[in-house]
């Protein structure tokens, strides 16, 4: 069999036509499998550290959909979003990157607040009233904090493609601040948007309920249900919208989280496909020094790409101490086969089968990766400590500490993981790489 040539990762992603293995199936449909598989080999040397973090972030999110029931709908929505972004860049040029930059800047600023609200919503042992209040706060942050910001780039892209005047007159900041209702209406009313894409992103929540939660217009009952109300500006009066049980609120949150993941993935693909331009515009250039608040925001934002979730960040004089959960449940120890539906460069439909390689995540290796990533944002400190435990069960897995000078030296010399382990100030992980399965 002829060896596949390496991919030029500076080009936008398209499925490449394969001569063998063409077949269709109703099995899971994952556009990213070949994209991710090609990054596991020698092609990785072509990617700079920033691009590698983007790939890891994509991988972490793609695994959620890899064999899920929603995979086909998710890929259909992603295909359409990415097609809109690409056309938008061709037509509007630099302004599309300015909108992305404004969206990204605002998105980074809410990370710590968002993670705290999520932890409060999922904390065990709460009284029904308190848990419902926390769940609604979390839903509010998903709507107003994440979805409203992440929908800025697609709504701008739609306006550009439809030659709407607002695409020229509104600033990038105005697109970010636009209400979610206005952004969602562009999806719902535009004849070029597939109904399946609109419904997948926005169809699971009623606008009136969503609006009440976004504006915190609700009262929590003793049984944990929530009575929602809204305000009619034309009649200058309030009106009752009905009641949501706690279970219904949790279902709503699941659909909102799914929407966030798809919009995040589409933005990451846009970022990856246009890495060179974003670098030239200064998006990838590291700051000389981050403030403590900026450092915290970036750590919370970067952790998922390392399959980690941050529980808390402490600053002790010149040391940053990070408590993190290792998402070992993301590991897929068994390989398999999935089926990809996409298009070739000529726009012709293309379906083919691809192997899904086994993925075993190491808590030690992901902690070391997080340690190196965090060092980019902690240049004003002298030492970083990361304490890692398993997200399932809370078992302590290990702790590492390193001086910033050591981490910078490792980065410059491109030392191996084993060499990094030997240079750490302290390490309670075993020197031998353990699998995610053994860390449970």
Q: How confident is the model at residue 438 (pLDDT cuts 50, 70, 90)?
A: very low
Q: Which runs of E-coded beta strand occur in 209-318?
A: 218-220, 226-232, 237-244, 308-316
DSSP code per residue over 366-396? HHHHHHHHHHTT-TT-SEEEEEEEETTT--E
Residue labelled with tokens 């030659």: 163
Half-sphere exposure of 152 (CA within 13 A, CB side): 28
Q: How confident is the model at residue 138 (pLDDT cuts 50, 70, 90)?
A: very high
C-alpha to C-alpha distance for 368 and 364, rounded to whole angstroms:
6
Task: Quick: pLDDT tens for 201-220.
Answer: 887 666 778 888 888 888 89
Report pTM: 0.76
For 140, other C-beta atoms within 10 Å of its C-beta total: 18
Task: Quick: pLDDT tens for 83-119.
Answer: 888 888 888 889 999 999 999 999 989 888 898 899 8
Instruction: Output the pLDDT for position 25.
Output: 30
Task: Quick: pLDDT tens for 353-362.
Answer: 555 555 567 8
Q: Which two tokens stand for residue 293?
A: 């608040």
């Amino acid at each position: 069999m002829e060896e596949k040539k390496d991919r030029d990762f500076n080009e936008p992603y398209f499925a490449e036509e394969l001569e063998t293995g063409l077949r269709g199936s109703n099995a899971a449909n994952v556009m990213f499998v070949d994209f991710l598989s090609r990054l596991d080999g020698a092609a990785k040397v072509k990617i700079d550290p920033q691009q590698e973090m983007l790939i890891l972030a994509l991988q972490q999110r793609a695994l959620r959909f890899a064999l899920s029931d929603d995979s086909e709908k998710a890929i259909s929505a992603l295909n359409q979003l990415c097609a809109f972004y690409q056309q938008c860049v061709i037509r509007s040029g630099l302004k599309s990157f300015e909108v992305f930059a404004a969206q990204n800047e605002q998105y980074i600023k809410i990370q710590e607040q968002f993670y705290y609200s999520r932890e409060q919503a999922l904390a065990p042992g709460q009284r029904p009233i308190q848990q419902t209040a926390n769940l609604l706060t979390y839903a509010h942050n998903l709507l107003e904090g994440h979805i409203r910001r992440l929908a800025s780039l697609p709504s701008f892209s739609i306006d550009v493609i439809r030659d709407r005047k607002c695409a020229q007159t509104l600033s990038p900041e105005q697109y970010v601040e636009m209400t979610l209702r206005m952004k969602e209406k562009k999806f719902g009313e535009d004849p070029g948007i597939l109904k399946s894409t609109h419904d997948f992103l926005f169809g699971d929540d009623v606008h009136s309920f969503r609006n009440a939660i976004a504006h915190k217009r609700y009262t929590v009952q003793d049984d944990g249900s929530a009575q929602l109300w809204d305000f009619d500006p034309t009649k200058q009066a309030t009106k009752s919208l009905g009641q949501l049980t706690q279970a219904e609120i949790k279902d709503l949150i699941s659909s909102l989280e799914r929407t966030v993941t798809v919009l995040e993935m589409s933005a990451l693909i846009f970022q990856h496909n246009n890495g060179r331009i974003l670098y030239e515009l200064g998006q990838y250039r590291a700051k000389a020094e981050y403030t403590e608040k900026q450092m915290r925001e970036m750590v919370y934002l970067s952790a998922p790409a390392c399959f980690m979730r941050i529980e808390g960040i402490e600053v002790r004089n010149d040391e940053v101490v990070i408590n993190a959960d290792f998402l070992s449940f993301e590991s897929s120890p068994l390989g398999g086969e999935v089926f990809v539906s996409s298009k070739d460069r000529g726009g012709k439909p293309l379906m083919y089968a691809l192997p899904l390689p086994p993925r075993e995540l190491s808590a030690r290796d992901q902690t070391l990766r997080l340690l190196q990533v965090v060092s980019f944002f902690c240049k004003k400190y002298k030492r970083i400590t990361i304490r890692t435990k398993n997200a399932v069960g809370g078992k302590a897995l290990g702790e590492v500490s390193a001086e910033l000078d050591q981490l910078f030296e490792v980065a410059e010399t491109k030392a191996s993981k084993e060499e990094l382990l030997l240079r750490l100030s302290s390490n309670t992980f075993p020197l031998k790489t353990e699998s995610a399965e053994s860390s449970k």
